[in-house]
Structure 1
Amino acid sequence: MQNDKHSKHFKSTHKYRRQRMRNWLLYPALVGFAGVASVLAVNPAAVTAPLSNAGQTHYLDQGWDHQTRQQLSFTSFGSRLIPYDWFLALEQAQTAQLFRDPAHMSALGFIIAEPDEYNPDGLPVGVVRDKDKQHGDYVGLTCAACHTGQVSINGQRIRIDGGQALIDFTGFEIALVAALEATLADTEKFSRFYARLSQLQSNSLPTTSLATQSLQVLMQTRLQQLQQRLHNNKTDVPYGHGRLDAFGQIFNAIAVEALNMPVNIHSPNAPTSYPVMWDASHLDLVQWNGSAPNKEPGPLFQNAITALAVYGTIDIKKEDLSYRSSIRINHLADLQNGFYQLTAPQWPQQFAGALDEKKVAAGKALYQQHCVDCHTYVNPADKKRKLRVVLTPVAEVGTDPLMAHNFSQRKVQTGILEGERSLLLVGKKFTAQASSLDLVTHAAFGALLNQPWQSFKAVVREYKTNLPATPSTIDSYKARPINGIWASAPYLHNGSVPSIYDLLLPAKQRPQTFYVGNIELDLQKVGHLTSAAPNTSLFDTRLPGNSNSGHEYGTELNDEQRWALVEYIKSL
């Protein structure tokens, strides 16, 4: 997967600790804080020691070895949230506990991980260090943050590689902003924050009063940017655990932030569940609405857009023929190739109990009658399998239409890009208005064009002979193979149905409200337990974007048939 140079980068733990602050722009601003730090009793172990033991985790056979798993979990694709050492040193808003404390990150839905050569500081899965020689290190998110799941069965925790995460994305952002606000407002909290930075930096600093002000200015500047992003992406209906309107937020990231045009703000109010990644690289179309062809260079574009959506940076200037960005294009190829190897998790009979073979047989016949036309079978032994999705118009499938409608109908002002070509050098010229998707595609193309050799190599390395496909011109949702679906609750694109059993009921009989965030597997209905519990969020299907209607296929089955079909689906 990763090349030797990249692996050595993670292994050189001591070297990178010495270099953490060397290149970051606040380094000159920090000069002079020794006087503050010297009066604080900071235990170095509080900064550098491994976090608390994450406990035993079981892994299923999904085509990855442990090295591949760790590389994909902690490889940056260019996400830059805040300087890396700020994240290591930052306290929670209301306490002196570190923000990255396992209990705090776990409450936000992140999966806790032990320190190792790929993750020296014991950060949660998908929370990664992005190294920049010019500006220093940043912390950001990578694919694994949203596309790694876990379930618990009778106290045994099982990792689901490429699974559906249950992180509270907005809750994480809000908590981070609150922590920065509190650090700047509280003298003692700020002093402890700096002392940890000094400990991480491991050198003595002379005293100047300007240093305090300079650091505070840098922090205040980044805080204001994060506050503005929260404002741009506010919604009337909270996402809660396990959902994000990724399209809505990337549209705002480009059309609002990168172009500096507040007039383009649209509420990203159509959150969807984080889709599972096994077989995704083998499909002809991806995204919940089947909007993205999966033949090169499509995957490279999609992954570049994802990097920009999750705190990647891009500098769009009218006079430039390409756009500088933080996207790690060479890493995108590694990530894409890694997920190509991934297979669906099999029902863990060693923890969850054996399947009822009689029910499985009866359920298979029902599946062939009611389901297989849309949800085809997969042969995981075929390493180069080519899979085709089925697109069903929104009006026919009947599920919540908001995500599909927002994607196809959203228009924005083009601002400085008016008159520019849609693909910089070719394509139609932008008028005063364009679709959000066209602007995002333009930005991604500009970022890839800025690193032409890396982009070319990535396309060559990623290239797979997937089936060609053209997205539908009608608002639709895709039906893909459902192997491993037992590990990806809740269901439907917007996460509005808590279990497989509930999905086989008529919509009027499905739960109106339930809680999301509990990883304990419901072995009977097949989903997560949905009662109120700490660190869960209420899902109300009566709110806009949350409808649990539609997908009423096989709903005429009697209860015995439903349970047989559930049992068979567990076996896929």
Structure 2
Amino acid sequence: MGQGPFWTTETRAAFYTQDQGSRLMPAAWLAALRQPDGTPFLADRLARYGYLPNLEDPTTLLPAGFTSTRADGQQVVGMTCAACHTREIALGGQTLRIDGGPAFADFGALLAGLDTAVRPLTTTPAAFRSFAAAVLGPQATAADRTRLAADVRRWYRRFNTIVSRSLPPEPWGPGRLDAVAMIFNRLTGLDLASTRDGMIVENIRVADAPARYPFLWNAPRQDKTQWPGFADNGNDFLAMARNLGQVIGVFGEFHPVVDKRVPLLGVNYVGQNSANFEGLQKLEELIQRIGPPRWPLPVDRALAAQGAAIFARPEAAGGCGTCHAERIREAYGNQLWITPIQDVGTDSREVKLLSRTARSGVLTGQTVFNIGPLAAEEPAVRLLGAAVVGSIVQAPFAADLSGRGRLAPVERREPYAQARDDVAAKGETLRGALPERPPTEAAPETFAYESRVMRGIWAAAPYLHNGSVPTLEDLLKPAAERPAEFAVGPAYDAAAVGLARTQPGSGFLLRTTGCEARNSGNSRCGHEFGTTLSPAEKRALLEYLKTL
């Protein structure tokens, strides 16, 4: 699929495999893991969960977006951006690969499947013996097996805790994930305890505000990111903050340690932090190269021109330009697209998530520039901000302090004094880039989300932030007339511009609610713009949207 002159087979290959610091489990474990029926866990390259094969490396058993990286003396499997932001669409007899598009992957099912596969290793001696033989080989000693058993139990205790307490009774399904809650759960539940293996289990809560994966090709140019628009965007610091937060959510290993010798901060945020800062920067550069996918079928240019005029109308006249036009503002020395944040009546659950609080753990009493001092309980988004900012400020000095790309253990740290002035300078730069107020200070009962530039919107179905509307044609109808349920999958309807009503091979139906249950997480309510256009005007607008 053509996605601009800067997107090549080389950039795609790097996008699929660039390590960002995610550490799911040792590669040898994953290779030895079995499903309940005895087949290898990786038998179908995780296609059963909607993940896609790595087209640039057909020999690997890992799908696109899964990495294998040398860490702590062994190969470790993790995830990277492409796992959640690569999709295929079946259209016009073709299967189109779209890089940077919202995946149809079912992350919740993957978590549940891993939990089911690992559980017998901790409860069934025969299952563990078979697993240990595959991982350790025939020369393993009893001591080797004992250590492996302890490692598996430790891994499963933490993984099972977050999975069992996070996954909602009603599955997210393919193409959706409550990413914000999962980041909050992992950070506050697994990372902020006083010991590395400790947990603050009461901080882990049901993640029931699902959102669809966003498309990436305009992410670096927006002035706000995240569906509720709570994250400023537009320079290297803010891009790193955006990316570092998601690493924490997808199996990044992180444990801040209080240490008053650390200049300005008093906490070591990078000594026990698996984030690959260089890799995150490379991924950001790759994302900047991804162009929006071109509509692959013929376009009625005359009809699209009529649609362009309709698009440019204000909201009151059924147009889209007020919210979705490519308007530019200068910020941080860059030209950014203005991302309006407003309440248009859509599902409220994700915005309400931002008021959630959590115990602060080891960050209690700490201050990171304009964040803090942190009380014993704080909004989880504020704790995430402190963890991310502290890590970014320390990261440039990690190699100097350890000689190996991150801070050494506490007892080996020495040259903080030389870094103090540089850290302060970095901090002042970052302070000017942080939001002036936390999002929890927004007016109550205002449930605002970002309005994105529409480039490539044809390839991003389903629509609204929670993926509750299958096609753009449906989005131009009043909420009461939109489908109450629909199948989710790659089959595409070119006329309706979105998901086809029939999805061969898909066993998942997304059931939505109306405006009577706006806080369900699955409400199709809101965004009733263009609903009064005539059928001819709607056809013209849809034709134009294909060209963006």
TM-score where L is the length of structure 2: 0.82
Q: Which amino acid aligns with 2:505?
A: P
Matches within 5 A, 1:445-456: 445-453=389-397
Any gaps of 5 or more consecutive residues in structure 1? 1-57
3-state SS of paired residue (1:399): coil
* CA shift digits 1:293-314 (9 cap, x unpaired): 1133111111111111111011
* Residue equivalent to 1:64: 7
Q: 1:231 to 1:357 in 2, by over 3 A?
A: same
Contact 1:521-1:529 within 8 A present in 2 as well:
yes
C-alpha RMSD of the superposition: 2.8
Q: Which amino acid aligns with 1:299?
A: A
Q: 1:550 to 1:237 in 2, by over 3 A?
A: same
Q: 1:188 to 1:434 in 2, by over 3 A?
A: closer
Q: Select which of 397, 401, 413 maps to 2:359.
A: 413
Q: For the residues of structure 2 that align with 1:378 and 1:176, how far apart are their CA atoms? A: 44
Q: 1:129 to 1:191 in 2, by over 3 A?
A: same
Q: Which amino acid aligns with 1:557?
A: L
How much does 1:149 deviate? 1.5
Contact 2:224-2:233 within 8 A present in 1 as well:
yes
Q: Select which of 505, 509, 523 maps to 1:538.
A: 509
Q: Which amino acid aligns with 1:429?
A: P
Q: 1:569 to 1:378 in 2, by over 3 A?
A: farther
Q: For the residues of structure 1 that align with 2:334 and 2:382, how far apart are their CA atoms? A: 31
- Say which is worse superposed, 470-479 or 79-88, in terms of deviation: 470-479
* Residue equivalent to 1:435: 379
Contact 1:398-1:549 within 8 A present in 2 as well:
yes
* Residue equivalent to 1:565: 541
* CA shift digits 1:364-391 (9 cap, x unpaired): 1211120111111489xxxx98332342
Q: 1:413 to 1:212 in 2, by over 3 A?
A: closer
Contact 1:285-1:469 within 8 A present in 2 as well:
no
Contact 2:13-2:56 within 8 A present in 1 as well:
no
Q: Select which of 387, 400, 419 maps to 2:336.
A: 387
Do residues 373 (structure 1) and 328 (structure 2) align? no
Q: Select which of 450, 458, 472 maps to 1:500.
A: 472
Do residues 146 (structure 1) and 102 (structure 2) align? no
Do residues 315 (structure 1) and 255 (structure 2) align? yes
Do residues 107 (structure 1) and 20 (structure 2) align? no
Do residues 519 (structure 1) and 490 (structure 2) align? yes
Q: 1:497 to 1:444 in 2, by over 3 A?
A: same
How much does 1:183 deviate? 4.7
Q: Percent same amino acid among aligned pairs?
A: 30
How much does 1:427 deviate? 4.6
Q: Which amino acid aligns with 1:298?
A: L
Do residues 482 (structure 1) and 450 (structure 2) align? no
- Say which is worse superposed, 545-554 or 532-541, in terms of deviation: 532-541
Q: For the residues of structure 2 that align with 1:371 and 1:344, how far apart are their CA atoms? A: 19
TM-score where L is the length of structure 1: 0.79
Contact 2:477-2:531 within 8 A present in 1 as well:
yes
* CA shift digits 1:57-96 (9 cap, x unpaired): x5544631111111111011111111111112222222x3
Matches within 5 A, 1:80-229: 80-94=23-37, 96-102=38-44, 105-114=46-55, 116=57, 121-132=60-71, 134-183=72-121, 190=128, 192-197=130-135, 205=139, 208-229=141-162
How much does 1:533 deviate? 4.2
Q: Select which of 218, 221, 225 maps to 1:279.
A: 218
Q: Which amino acid aligns with 1:316?
A: P
- Say which is worse superposed, 438-447 or 524-533, in terms of deviation: 524-533
3-state SS of paired residue (1:447): helix
How much does 1:211 deviate? 3.7
How much does 1:155 deviate? 3.9
- Say which is worse superposed, 233-242 or 212-221, in terms of deviation: 212-221
Q: For the residues of structure 2 that align with 1:521 and 1:251, how far apart are their CA atoms? A: 34
Q: 1:388 to 1:454 in 2, by over 3 A?
A: farther
* CA shift digits 1:308-364 (9 cap, x unpaired): 111101112334621220000011110111111221111012xxxx11223212211
* CA shift digits 1:462-520 (9 cap, x unpaired): x9xxx99878745421111111111111000000000010000111100011111x211
Q: For the residues of structure 1 that align with 2:190 and 2:534, how far apart are their CA atoms? A: 52
How much does 1:272 deviate? 0.6
* Residue equivalent to 1:345: 293
* Residue equivalent to 1:355: 299
How much does 1:416 deviate? 3.4
Do residues 234 (structure 1) and 177 (structure 2) align? no
Q: 1:59 to 1:427 in 2, by over 3 A?
A: closer
* CA shift digits 1:28-82 (9 cap, x unpaired): xxxxxxxxxxxxxxxxxxxxxxxxxxxxxx5544631111111111011111111
Q: Which amino acid aligns with 2:246?
A: T
* CA shift digits 1:123-181 (9 cap, x unpaired): 1010111321x342211111111111211124422111111111100100111111112
Contact 1:127-1:142 within 8 A present in 2 as well:
yes
* CA shift digits 1:6-49 (9 cap, x unpaired): xxxxxxxxxxxxxxxxxxxxxxxxxxxxxxxxxxxxxxxxxxxx
Contact 1:93-1:175 within 8 A present in 2 as well:
no
Do residues 76 (structure 1) and 19 (structure 2) align? yes
Q: For the residues of structure 1 that align with 2:370 and 2:323, how far apart are their CA atoms? A: 37
* Residue equivalent to 1:10: none
* CA shift digits 1:420-460 (9 cap, x unpaired): 21x1x665311222111111111223333443336999x99
Q: For the residues of structure 2 that align with 1:427 and 1:225, how far apart are their CA atoms? A: 28
Do residues 304 (structure 1) and 253 (structure 2) align? no
Q: For the residues of structure 2 that align with 1:515 and 1:339, how far apart are their CA atoms? A: 29
Q: For the residues of structure 1 that align with 2:188 and 2:434, how far apart are their CA atoms? A: 30
Contact 1:62-1:344 within 8 A present in 2 as well:
no
* Residue equivalent to 1:330: 278
Q: 1:114 to 1:186 in 2, by over 3 A?
A: farther
Q: For the residues of structure 1 that align with 2:55 and 2:308, how far apart are their CA atoms? A: 41
Q: For the residues of structure 1 that align with 2:324 and 2:56, how far apart are their CA atoms? A: 39
Contact 1:79-1:130 within 8 A present in 2 as well:
no
Contact 1:108-1:168 within 8 A present in 2 as well:
yes
Aligned length, in residue pairs: 485
3-state SS of paired residue (2:352): helix
- Say which is worse superposed, 148-157 or 553-562, in terms of deviation: 148-157
